[in-house]
Amino acid sequence: MPLPGRLRKFFAFASLSLLLLVPFAPLLSGPPAKQASRVIVGAQVADGTGGPLRRANVRLTGDRITRVGNFRPRAGEPVVAADGLVLAPGFIDIHNHSSEGLAKDPLAESQISQGITTVILGADGESPWPIGEFVEKNRQAPAALNLAVLVGHATVRRKVMGDDYRRAARPEEIAEMCKLVEQGMREGAIGLSSGLEYEVGGYATTEEMVALARVAARFGGFYMTHIRDEADRMLEALREAIAIGEQARIPVEISHIKMGTVGVWGKAAEAIRLIEEARGRGVDVTADCYPYDAWASTITVLVPNKHYDDPASVERALADVGGAANVLLTECPKHRDYEFRTLEEIAKSQRISPVELFIQIVKDGEAGVVCRSMKDEDIRAFYQQPWVMVASDGGIGLRHPRAAGTFPKVLGRYVREQNWLSLPEAIRKMTSLPVQRLRWSDRGVLRAGMRADLVLFNPATVLDHSTFSHPGTLPEGIEKVLTNGVLVWDAGRATGARPGRVLGR
Ligand SMILES: [Zn+2]
């Protein structure tokens, strides 16, 4: 691999030049120019800790917050009037699928318009590769928001096993995967992700996951997992995730926690109890949850036993999600006319059964679906746990309303309209809670000394507008967003600035 060497050389060169420059800088340029400052005046500050809102002025100098309190701006210092608005740390989306989207759309309007200033990429076991190349590319061509990346388990599994992945890996293959995880961590990844419900990752044993997670743990990373089953065997899958954390001694983040089938509806309390017990004995488990009663994935995910052409299995799968009317086709390259219609509607118009239709669609290739198979009472129970954070599982161009609506939806619907949680608590779930999982010390809380990732929003109007048929419609009420002290979103549009950074461990 030529890249790591090249990277090492680059970093060595960069730090050497810094060493040389720093002591002489004053000689070359005189005393450093004072960095421009600004004050945001009159906002209600939600500082990310969950503490009550308080009215305060906030001074920004360069990319930092330098003062918070009841002080007056200096003469001539620019001010931003923020009366009636809430100022919070920028939102951190720990599960975001924009790694490809950012290359085409670095302004990331659908993300920054929600108040997101940092996205964690490489979720569900799929990551860019090599990590070092991805990191370097994003350093060279930054986006409007910050990013960090996980090593994907399926990505390294595929590298080692090729197309022969439908089996348990041999010890030497696991050893080879461990080397790749190590390479990814050395090149800047912040942890390991898995998607054990999916094709490539799903054939891994628990032992394989423990071995790989141990490597990530050695580098101070965490393990983020789309667990093996989000349906009838959800609790079993949760136990496995906890066991991996316990055996590998690594913090665990359960991705998009949900009760996804008729058989487990209303049983969130059991999942919560399992996690509470694990936390009680010292396993560092947290979870994230998106605010929608429907998931989006590939159509094959519906059939847990992977017998996609077996009518009985398919029939059972459709019944488990409450029927074919709950399955909306969102992307079907072979049959564009199926898109944004339910399996039930399409079957009716074709005069075949939904089961026959399903089998035919899979035979013709993959398809994307949105499946309405969760209950509000479960979502609410999860959101009320202090260890559950808000994450979108969305990203640029994803065909699900969570891609453009997640954070404003929590603020507008769960906080303002339904009173599920308080505003400061919701903000904590979007800021300092994910940061705690990421172990970053300079973001996620609004306080002097922290990086100036900020969002200014109107608590009376903030609301999502994306829907299942129009998943890309932008939200309202997010007035201004700053990344590293630079305004990236203002009055309903991207400013064009791209001050985002690649963040590490
Ligand atoms: Zn997932």
Distance 5 CA to ligand 1 centre (A): 33
Domain ranges, ordered by start, for the chain = 89-293+374-494, 296-371
Distance 193 CA to ligand 1 centre (A): 10
Sequence-ordered alpha helix ranges (H) in 295-368:
311-320, 343-350, 354-363
Q: What is the pLDDT of residues 63-85, one digit of tens each?
A: 999 999 999 999 999 999 999 99
Distance 226 CA to ligand 1 centre (A): 5
Let me know: does 80 contact 482? Beta carbons within 8 Å: no
Distance 126 CA to ligand 1 centre (A): 10
pLDDT of residue 23: 41
- Which residues lie near ion ligand 1 (Cβ < 5 Å)? 124, 226
Of 52, 107, 55, the C-alpha closest to 81 is 55
Let me know: does 70 contact 105? Beta carbons within 8 Å: no
Q: State how far the Cα of 283 lies from the Cα of 330, in Å rounded to an integer.
A: 38
Distance 142 CA to ligand 1 centre (A): 26
Distance 123 CA to ligand 1 centre (A): 7
End-to-end Cα distance, the chain: 23
Let me know: does 27 contact 419? Beta carbons within 8 Å: no
Distance 124 CA to ligand 1 centre (A): 5
Distance 300 CA to ligand 1 centre (A): 14
Q: State how far the Cα of 169 lies from the Cα of 84, in Å rounded to an integer.
A: 58
Q: State how far the Cα of 395 lies from the Cα of 100, in Å rounded to an integer.
A: 9
Q: State how far the Cα of 488 lies from the Cα of 481, in Å rounded to an integer.
A: 6
Tokens for 413?
A: 């619907």
pLDDT of residue 29: 45
Distance 393 CA to ligand 1 centre (A): 7
Distance 17 CA to ligand 1 centre (A): 42
Q: State how far the Cα of 3 lies from the Cα of 8, in Å rounded to an integer.
A: 8
Distance 312 CA to ligand 1 centre (A): 26
Distance 294 CA to ligand 1 centre (A): 13
Distance 356 CA to ligand 1 centre (A): 27
Q: Give 333: exposed, middle or buried? Use CB within 10 Å, 0-12, 13-18, 19+.
A: exposed
Distance 34 CA to ligand 1 centre (A): 46
User: Which run of H or of E encompasses 248?
Assistant: helix 234-248
Instruction: Using 50 as the pLDDT threshold, list the residues of the chain that sit under it.
Output: 1-31
Q: State how far the Cα of 223 lies from the Cα of 225, in Å rounded to an integer.
A: 6
Q: Edge to edge, what strands does the sheet with 294-298 contain? A: 294-298, 368-372, 327-331, 341-342
Please tell me whether the peptide bond between 130 and the residue prior to it is cis, using omega within 30 degrees of 0. Answer: yes
Distance 63 CA to ligand 1 centre (A): 33
User: Which run of H or of E encompasses 211?
Assistant: helix 206-218
Let me know: does 299 contact 338? Beta carbons within 8 Å: no
Q: Give 301: exposed, middle or buried? Use CB within 10 Å, 0-12, 13-18, 19+.
A: buried
* CATH 3.30.930.10 correct for 89-293+374-494: no
pLDDT of residue 34: 67
pLDDT of residue 450: 98
pLDDT of residue 33: 57
Distance 195 CA to ligand 1 centre (A): 6
Let me know: does 124 contact 155? Beta carbons within 8 Å: no
132 phi and psi angles, rounded to 5 deg: -60, -40
Let me know: does 231 contact 196? Beta carbons within 8 Å: no
Distance 109 CA to ligand 1 centre (A): 22
489 phi and psi angles, rounded to 5 deg: -135, 125
Distance 26 CA to ligand 1 centre (A): 51
Of 100, 152, 94, the C-alpha closest to 398 is 100
Number of C-beta neighbours around residue 282 at 10 A: 8
Q: What is the pLDDT of residues 218-260, one digit of tens each?
A: 999 999 999 999 988 999 999 999 999 999 999 999 999 999 8
